[in-house]
Amino acid sequence: MSFPGRAVQRTWHLVDATSQTVGRLATTVAPILKGKHKPTYRPDGDVGDFVVIVNAEKVHFSGKKWSDKLYRWHTGYPGGLKERPAKDMLERKPESILKKAILGMLHRNNLRNSHIEPRLRIYAGPDHPHAAQLPEGVKPLPVHPRKRMGNFHFGLGEKYSETPYHPGSAKGREDEA
């Protein structure tokens, strides 16, 4: 059964980048842009959602990447290789740090350039012009879990189930008396 492109339902997602690691945030956003969370996903189809990222100027890098990581590009002229450290890139264009990380996780093809890339909206501050598209009372996507974060429960909450856990006992086993 084929899935026509006209029936694609696109949702708007809000992501707050405050104190989130760039790579971990990119691994959360890239599959949403591509549409991998939907049952109608096709690798060659344009089925992804819109993503609005706010507070891009407050992202975090681990280690010494603020001084060691270099962003390079070429102007097209002989000897035109330019490079800028991540700290300077954050001061000049904080949106481009996240944009480069997220688009680097997608295949380089016409689908990315013409369809997926325009659905990614990144803003340096907390204000964005997409309040009308986002649902009423929308909350940002949850923070991607980090190894050293002790307050993340993988969506299970405080209590896993109402039945108490007793180690060493199992239902269906007959008690040996």
Q: Indicate whether 169 pLDDT > 70.
A: no
Detail the DSSP E strand segments found in the chain.
Answer: 12-16, 50-54, 70-74, 81-85, 120-122
* Predicted local distance difference test score (pLDDT) of residue 144: 72
DSSP state of 175: P
pTM of structure:
0.77
pLDDT, mean of residues 60-73? 93
* Predicted local distance difference test score (pLDDT) of residue 134: 87
The position carrying tokens 């008690």 is: 175
Q: Which amino acid is at 143?
A: V
- Tokens matching residue 70: 């270099």
pLDDT, mean of residues 96-100? 96
Give the pairing type, strands 120-122 and 50-54.
Answer: parallel
Distance CA 119, CA 96 (A): 15
pLDDT classification of 119: cutoffs 50, 70, 90: very high
Q: Are 97 and 86 in contact (CB under 8 A)?
A: yes
pLDDT classification of 168: cutoffs 50, 70, 90: low
Q: Indicate whether 105 pLDDT > 70.
A: yes
Q: Indicate whether 14 pLDDT > 60.
A: yes
Q: Are 107 and 30 in contact (CB under 8 A)?
A: no
Higher pLDDT, 22 or 146: 22
- Tokens matching residue 103: 């688009």
pLDDT in tens, 21-30: 999 999 999 9
Output the DSSP codes for 97-133: HHHHHHHTTS--SHHIIIIIGGGEEE-SSS--S-TTT
Q: Are 85 and 66 in contact (CB under 8 A)?
A: yes
pLDDT classification of 159: cutoffs 50, 70, 90: very low
